[in-house]
Amino acid sequence: MYDLSFTGRNIDIAASLLIKGEAVAIPTETVYGLAANALNIDAVTKIFRIKKRPSFDPLIIHISSFDLVDRYVVSVPEPLRRLAEAYMPGPLTLLLEKKSIIPDVVTSGSRYVAVRVPAHDLTRALLAKLDFPLAAPSANPFGYISPTTAQHVADQLGSQLCYILDGGPCEIGIESTIVGMTDNGEIHVYRKGGLTIEQIQKVIGTIIVEDYSASNPDAPGMLTHHYAPSKPFVIVENINDIPKGENVGVMAYRQFVPGIPMHHQVVLAPTGRFEDAAHNLFAGMRYLDTCQVDTIYTQLLPEVDLGIAINDRLRRAAAI
């Protein structure tokens, strides 16, 4: 555990570092982000370097209010504007045609930029102090589990950061849902996330949901193997049928599994609430990754509501 990193709740410190072109970790309601001035190419390059992120994987820009979006995008198609009105601030990211003020390094050369208004008081207060948007991917090394506490960020990236803005544990716990519109007017969900498919359908009607395994040129970051612990992570049909033993890890939905040490088990949601499961998912994966276990077994949740996005994370973590 790394505990020398400079962590706190001071948005003036965070703002002054960001203005200087440094990278700072910030809390959001989904996961922690690794933020830098989105209009400053050198600052954005630091994010890619710290995360060891391939340059083909574009970044989301974060703004304090959707009212500011016209500074950075050419236009907002009507259905996406309705989504923004319904769900921003919140766990929704929209892909919109960018203005040239957004450097190509942010979008990995795409003419679309991903835009989000986080619903976290501390980060919104920070954004309100800045006259630029913050480019921020999740604050984890590329491919590993996203951080949902300041300690998670410090554990992995602490030695490379000058400040971690600590906003407590992320309420939602999984990343935002990414939505865009194709040239022929279809609404696509490119990443399942904290805003559910059902919530989007309520506002838009028919949408197309990209599958986790799709090799999809529109969302180059949606790699099949992602969010992964370093231990083998195996999805089983029936969690009670797994091999029993001391070195077995379990991530169960509602109940502990008999015959396996309790301290090698994580129960995501004892009462079955999807919100609890999402909130506990990444912290649970990290915990089990530190246990003396050879393999972590898990089960899928019902494929509705937040279960859809949670299962997407479980399948990617289990993919070889």
Residues near Mg ion (CB under 5 A): 138
Task: Looking at residues 284 to 313 of the shown chain, list those that interact with ligand TXA (rule: CB under 6 A).
Answer: none
* Contact residue for ligand TXA among 110, 148, 199, 299 (CB under 6 A): 110
Least distance from ligand TXA to the Cβ atom of residue 170, Å: 9
Helix (H) or strand (E) holding 266: strand 265-267
C-alpha span between 159 and 306 (Å, rounded) = 34
Least distance from ligand TXA to the Cβ atom of residue 241, Å: 34
Which of residues 167 and 307 has its CB atom nearest to ligand TXA in the complex?
167
Count the neighbouring beta carbons within 10 Å of the beta carbon of residue 240. Answer: 12
| Binding span for ligand TXA by CB under 6 A among 4-12, 36-44, 136-144, 266-274 | 136-144
Residues 153-192, mask of contacts with ligand TXA (x by CB under 6 A): ----------------------xx-x-----------x--
Whether residue 113 contacts residue 106, with contact meaning beta carbons closer than 8 Å, is answered with: yes
Residue 210 binds ligand TXA, judged by CB under 6 A: no
Question: Quick one: angle between helices 274-290 and 306-318, nearest 10?
Answer: 20
Least distance from Mg ion to the Cβ atom of residue 146, Å: 5
Sign of CA dihedral 30, 35, 40, 45: negative
* Contact residue for ligand TXA among 22, 57, 210, 275 (CB under 6 A): 57
Single-letter code of the amino acid located at 30: T
Residue 142 structure tokens: 């590329």
Query: Any bridge partners for residue 296, and if so which?
Result: 233, 249
Which of residues 178 and 251 has its CB atom nearest to ligand TXA in the complex?
178
Q: Helix and strand tally (H, E) in the chain? A: 9, 15
Least distance from ligand TXA to the Cβ atom of residue 252, Å: 25
* Contact residue for ligand TXA among 33, 249, 284, 307 (CB under 6 A): 33
Specify the DSSP class assigned to residue 210: -
C-alpha span between 223 and 27 (Å, rounded) = 24
Residue 155's contacts (CB-CB under 8 Å, 6 or more residues apart) are: 1, 2
Total of chain residues touching ligand TXA, rule CB under 6 A: 27
Residues contributing to the site for ligand TXA (CB under 6 A) = 28, 30-31, 33, 57-60, 93, 95, 107, 110, 112-114, 116, 136-138, 175-176, 178, 190, 218-219, 221-222
